[in-house]
Structure 1
Amino acid sequence: MAEQQLAVTRSDLISETKERFTAVLVANKQLKLAQNQLDQAAAVLSIVNEAVAAGKKAPIEALRFKSLATQAQIRYQTALTTLDNSRVVLASSWNGKADDFGEVIGNLRVMPKLPKWDVIEQQLDHSPLLILRHQQHQLAQAELALQKANRVNNLTVELGLKNDRSNDDTALLAGLSMPLSLFDRNKSGVAAASLRASQAQAQGNALRQQQRQQVITTYRSATLIRQEIEALTSDLIPAAQTVFEAISYGYTQGKFGVIEVLDAQGRLFDSEDRYIEALTRYHQQFSELGRLLGNEFTENKG
């Protein structure tokens, strides 16, 4: 049972390390995104400043875009701090320091593919935690059997020789004895062991139901998040990028105002942020699924 307890601890440790590693990848991605958004904000501000200098736009518009550029700079600094913190947390996994390793290599956009549900369901009973509970129930049953065996008193057999000095004869003597348990036949021991066995079984059943529900919830959540990511990458982000570029160009031609540019840029930034956030949630849900199942299910990339 100690070996199975080690398996549970190992599964939790693997999942925790994966999540910390993913957090660094996410922070790297957020930093790059913040840098791109900062560059975009600076580029738009440059266009507006040129238009203001040429007398085509009012100076107030430059102030609006300057405020947006300042926000982008704050976002970049926040992303930089988040990356530093996530590296510290990852290094703590081996009691190290963030300086112990260089850049973390990984592609956050490569998502592990979820196995089919029937595969997940088959592996549910093989999770380290459920196996541990099963072993604890078996141990409780063995203890109950031992306590029941102790209700029957041991039969004592005695053999000996007796010498009769009067006639110098030797006789073989045999005897049987058994204590009479008139009042206590280990009832208390049996009752206590029976209670522990029942509790172990009930706890195992409850844990299985709870873990099954957690697996179902996590699996469904990961499935929905993956669909959201596919929609973002195939439709929402490309559309937001196209609209922003078109309106930015139209602004220089006097076809759109500052409000339209700010709105288009905000929608693009929001969709990009949502994409990173969805990727983060997907990897977290996948890691949680691995923890619940003991990290044994197939991790196909897709």
Structure 2
Amino acid sequence: MLSRLSHLALACAAWGAIAAGPAWAQPAPAFADLLRQATQTAPRLKEAQAGVREAQGLALQAQARPNPVVGLEAENFGGKAPYNGTNQAETTLSVAQALELGGKRSARVSAANAEVTAAEARNRQASADFAYELAVAYAAAEAAQARADLAAQALKRSQDDLGVSRALVDAGREANLRLVTAQAAEASARADAEAARADAVEALARLSALAGVAEPYTSLAGGLLSAPASPSTADGVPPADMPALQVARAEREAAGKQVTVERRRAIPDLTASVGVRRLNGQGLTGNDSTALVAGVSVPFPLFDQNRGNVAAASARANAADARFEEARLRAEADWRSARVQADAAVSRVSASQQSEAAADEAYRLARVGYESGKTPLVEVLNAQRALTDARRTTLDARVARVRAQATLARLAGRAPFGE
């Protein structure tokens, strides 16, 4: 109870701050416009895009060849005679170059490019997930705003009922108990209106944060809850290009290429060197002279054959295979479930609209009967609560329909509602 009061107090404070805010406060645009704007401002999408750039940078680095090594050596100096000076010193300037053998570079480049493909697939999945969450948050904010309007309307009806009750009591046609009951109902409706308004402020703040907007929206254009339902498809076969499958497939491919990289790392590399040696006071004439030096070296794989890294990469590849199979099974199940939920959501909206129409007519008749003295106040209050509940149920059904349609769009890798 305390947490609920704290939540309500904070939300009311936020509402007061926004209501008294400066003129820069803007309403949220329509969902399609907000989604286009959010692609440039949402932190989550920026993070996914940065992941692609990171993979591209690593792929660029994978193309680099080993740098040459320049060496300078001096020997036969600073010792005992005849080497106590530099007259007998030998100086060698050389350049060494490591030569990658066994296709290491091509395997490394191929694995890095596979990581770029996986990062791009993750970016597409992040975009689809973000569009889904933005649609759900937008629908939630729109529903919260509508609930606040419903609560305000319920408060207005309670105030009207209170006025009628007061007039009937003053005319001696009702007991004072009826007036007290109406006053209690009006107070309850007022509290519900304040709570609904606070919930609307909170929902708008969450939507603003998700879209990456610095200042929270104070209202929104709406229209998402009344968007037409997507046509139902006969089969429940999931699309072959679902983002979850693309990510799992790309990660499996990248893991497989990494095994090749580790296997080729076990092949020793060749290092070739060439240089110039200066000989002081040596040679046939006793004068200074120079000579070329060259060499080749190769590691002998006696202790390190990279077996551990090969085994680890193979295990990661096996895990990627398992994740792909899990993703495939889950995608099929999620798609079929989403299709059923979308169809059920459409039916639920239709049924709730019919219930709302019946509740509206029941309340109208109860008011007419009460004003004519034929219906007790309690029936009017019950009819009013039933109407409010029916309208809230319709809102919940519309939100569920938006969520179901957005889920289908997310699974298919597209933005919801035709964008």
Fold conserved (TM > 0.5)?
A: yes
Moved more, 33-42 or 211-220: 211-220
Q: Deviations over 1:230-267 (max 9, x none)?
A: 1121x211111111111221122232222322222221
Kindly, what percent of the aligned residue pairs are identical? 22
The answer as to 2:342 corresponding to 1:226 is no
Distance 1:102 1:151 in 2: 62
**Match status 1:200 vs 2:320:** yes
- Match of 1:52, SS state, is helix
The alpha-carbon deviation at position 32 of structure 1 amounts to 1.3
Q: Normalising by the residue count of structure 2, what TM-score does the alignment of the two structures yield?
A: 0.58
Deviation at 1:64, TM superposition (A): 0.9
Q: Is the 8 A contact 2:121 2:246 kept in 1?
A: yes
Contact 2:204 2:218 in 1 (8 A): no
* Shift in CA distance, 33/106, structure 1 to aligned 2, threshold 3 Å: same
Mapping of residues 40-79 of structure 1, within 5 Å = 40-79=157-196
The letter of the residue matching 1:291 is: R
Contact persistence 1:23–1:86 (CA under 8 A) = yes
Which residue pairs with 1:32 in the alignment? 149
Q: Aligned AA for 1:265?
A: Q
**Distance in 2 between the 1:137 and 1:246 partners?**
66
**Residues 121 and 112 of structure 1, relative CA distance in 2, 3 Å threshold:** farther
Question: How big is the shift at 1:105?
Answer: 0.8
Could you tell me which amino acid in structure 1 is paired with residue 198 of structure 2? T
Report the counterpart of residue 227 of structure 2 in structure 1. Answer: 111
Determine the structure 1 residue equivalent to 2:251: 136
Which structure carries more helix by proportion?
A: 1
2:241 aligns with 126
Q: Secondary structure of the equivalent of 1:199?
A: helix
What amino acid maps onto 1:267 in structure 2? Answer: A
TM-score scaled by structure 1?
0.78
- For 1:256, the equivalent position in structure 2 comes to 375
The alignment of Structure 1 onto Structure 2 pairs a total of residues equal to 274
Residue 96 of structure 1 corresponds to 214
Structure 1 counterpart of 2:411: 292
The answer to whether the 8 Å contact 2:128/2:415 transfers is no
User: For residues 34-80 of structure 1, what are the alpha-carbon distances to aligned partners after superposition, in whole Å with 9 as ceiling and x for unaligned?
Assistant: 11111111112211111111111111011111111111111111111
Aligned-residue offset at 1:191: 4.1
> Which structure's relative contact order is higher, taking Cα pairs within 8 Å and 6+ residues apart?
1
Partners of 1:86 and 1:186 in 2: CA distance: 55
Deviations 1:145-169 (A, max 9, x none): 4556678999xxxxxxxxxxxxxxx
Greater C-alpha radius of gyration: 2
Check the 8 A contact 2:201/2:218 in 1, yes or no: no
Residue 215 (structure 1) aligns with:
335
8 Å contact from structure 1 (residues 128, 294) kept in 2: yes
Answer with 252-261 or 106-115: which moved more: 106-115
What is aligned with 1:85?
202
Distance 1:111 1:63, change over 3 A: same
Contact 1:113 1:300 in 2 (8 A): no
Pairwise CA RMSD: 3.1
> For 1:255, what is the secondary structure of its paired residue?
coil
- CA drift of 1:141 comes to 2.4
Residue 9 of structure 1 pairs with residue 126 of structure 2: yes
